[in-house]
């Protein structure tokens, strides 16, 4: 365990930012923590505190394929991607294919789990809990689906649908990647993939469920509040 426990989480809203620079930034923050862990292992008499971060970002249209995914779940060829102004990236997170785009809140927690608990399964459930509590404030009952990460509506019914996708990677207990909550997302972009490789279930958004545009900034504030509660941390700017 980390000798210097840090339960503060630095928050940044990156605004609208391309996927690759956002990924590079996560990797940079990850490396900083890994370097600190190496330092602490080599210099036990001079321990440094690792840092935790929570990034919010909105990506221009992009499809990302996780390391356990299958390219066959991308239904658009190169010409179609150009036509719909979307890009395609293979990434090092878990999970299959998903879409990021405008009107979606993407959250990247870069946490040193040794500041919290060393349990990836619990971490994923806690991320789901943050979103479940957030959308509950809008009258939406988010649920978990056995064997499938993310947050769903109407689990166990023929019209079960995912409202928030999740996929993470951890190195020496430091996390990157995270969640993507569909708020006012253009759902037509999901027609060009088999979302998360699950062919028999649909995706949805808060806008579609509530039948009205949703204030994205208000949703962000609620996510931050519930993140602080679930992870028992202090979020600082």
pLDDT (tens digit per residue) in 88-99: 999 988 778 899
Residue 201: predicted pLDDT: 73
More confident residue, 6 or 197: 6
Average pLDDT over residues 21-44: 97
Average pLDDT over residues 3-28: 95
Strand 161-171 vs strand 202-203: parallel, antiparallel, or unpaired? parallel
Q: Does 76 have pLDDT greater than 90?
A: yes
- Kindly tell me if the per-residue pLDDT of 196 is higher than 80: no
Cα 48 to Cα 101: distance, rounded to the nearest angstrom: 37
Are 177 and 91 spatial neighbours (Cβ–Cβ below 8 Å)? yes
Average pLDDT score over residue span 107-115 = 98
Give the model confidence (pLDDT) of 114-157 as tens digits: 999 999 999 999 999 999 999 999 999 999 999 899 999 999 99
pLDDT of residue 2 exceeding 60: no
Cite the active site residues: 196
Which domains does the chain carry? 8-236 (3.30.930.10)
In this model, does residue 195 exceed pLDDT 80? Answer: no
Mean pLDDT of 213-225: 98
Q: Provide the pLDDT for residue 1.
A: 45
Counting residues of the chain whose pLDDT is more than 90, the rounded percentage is: 86
Give the pLDDT confidence score for residue 153 in this predicted structure: 97
How many Å apart are CA 57 and CA 107, to the nearest integer?
7
The model's pTM is 0.94
């Amino acid at each position: 365990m980390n000798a210097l426990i840090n339960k503060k989480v630095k928050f940044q809203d990156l605004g609208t930012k391309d996927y690759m620079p956002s990924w590079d930034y996560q990797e940079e923050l990850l490396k900083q923590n890994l370097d600190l862990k190496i330092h602490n292992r080599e210099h036990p008499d001079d321990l440094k505190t690792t840092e935790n971060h929570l990034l919010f970002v909105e990506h221009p249209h992009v499809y990302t394929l996780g390391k356990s995914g299958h390219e066959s779940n991308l239904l658009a060829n190169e010409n179609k991607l150009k036509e719909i102004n979307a890009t395609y990236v293979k990434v090092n997170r878990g999970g299959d294919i998903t879409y990021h785009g405008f009107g979606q809140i993407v959250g990247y927690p870069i946490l040193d789990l040794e500041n919290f608990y060393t349990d990836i399964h619990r971490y994923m459930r806690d991320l789901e809990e943050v979103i479940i509590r957030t959308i509950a404030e809008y009258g939406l009952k988010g649920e978990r689906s056995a064997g499938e990460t993310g947050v769903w509506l109407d689990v166990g019914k023929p019209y079960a649908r995912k409202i928030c996708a999740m996929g993470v990677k951890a190195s020496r207990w430091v996390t990157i990647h995270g969640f993507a909550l569909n708020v006012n997302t253009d759902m037509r972009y999901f027609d060009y993939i088999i979302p998360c490789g699950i062919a028999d279930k649909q995706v949805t958004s808060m806008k579609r469920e509530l039948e009205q545009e949703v204030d994205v900034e208000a949703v962000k504030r609620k996510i931050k509040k519930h993140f602080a509660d679930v992870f028992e941390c202090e979020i600082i700017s």
